[in-house]
Chain A
C-alpha cells in the first residue's frame, strides 16, 4: 500500500473512532477545551490501530531548559496539518468527525537529536500552538504564505469588442498562474506551491448605454 493510501486510511480510521476518543477524553476532563488530545497511529496493509489519550499539554512548544531559556530541543515534534485549515470546509468533509472539533487534526513527526525522524501519532492543535520547527509556528508559516500577492489574471472574451443581447458570450481567464515562492520566516525557508481550485464568475446587472 502506498504511503498516501495508508495516510488516508489512518485519517478515515480516526474519523471512525473519533467520537469514542472524544467521549473518553471528556470523561477524563480536558485541560484545553477539546484541543488536548493526542494519540498513536500504527498500521500495516489494510489494518490501522489508533490509541488516543488526553495530552499532557496542549502545546507542542519546543523544550525549554530549567533556566527558562529557549534552546534547540533534544527531541521535538512537528505537526502536519492533515485536515483543511478552513474549519467550515473541514466540517463539510472527511475531517468533520476527527477528535478535534475546535482545532486541527495533525500527524506528528518526532525529530531526534541524531537527525532521525519517525511518525509520532497525531495531535489536535491550533495553528498558534503547532510548532513547524523550533521558533516558528505553523501560524507564522501560513501567514507568510497568505501574504503572497496572487495574480488575478486578465479576462478574455469573445465576441471581443462588444457582446450582443441574446447571443452567447465566452469568458475566460489568462495569466492566473503563480510560480512557487520561497519566503524567509524566522531563519527558515518556507516554500509554497500554488494552484487554482475554482473560478467564480459574476456578470453584474448591466447599466443602460
Chain B
C-alpha cells in the first residue's frame, strides 16, 4: 500500500528513521482510481489520479558529551 524510503505499515502508515537533525520536507502522493458510470452503466476505470499533502518535520539530535 505504501511506497517510499520508509517501512510500510497499515494503510497509509509508514515509519522512517532520520540519521541527522534538520528540517525535512515530508510529502505523500496519494494514488487513486475511479470507477466511472454513465446513466448507471459502467464505462470503465480512470487511473493515474493523484493528490498530494506535504509538511515540514523538524528532527533534533541528542549528543552525549563526556566531561571530567
Contacts and interface: CB of A to CB of B under 8 A. Distances in A.
A binds B: yes
Interface of A: 78, 80-82, 84-86, 89, 106, 109, 132-133, 136, 138, 141-142, 145-146, 148-155, 157, 161-173, 176, 178, 185, 188-209
Interface in B43-68: 43-55, 57-62
Interface residues of B, number: 58
- Most chain B beta-carbon neighbours within 10 Å: one of A146, A148, A206: A206
- Is the contact region of chain B dominated by helix, strand, or loop, or is it mixed? strand
Interface of B: 1-6, 9, 11-55, 57-62
Contact of B2 (A151, A155, A157, A201): A201
Given A198-B1, A200-B3, A206-B23, A190 B36 contact: yes
Contact of B39 (A133, A138, A194, A207): A133
A187 to B, nearest CB: 10
Nearest to B61: A165
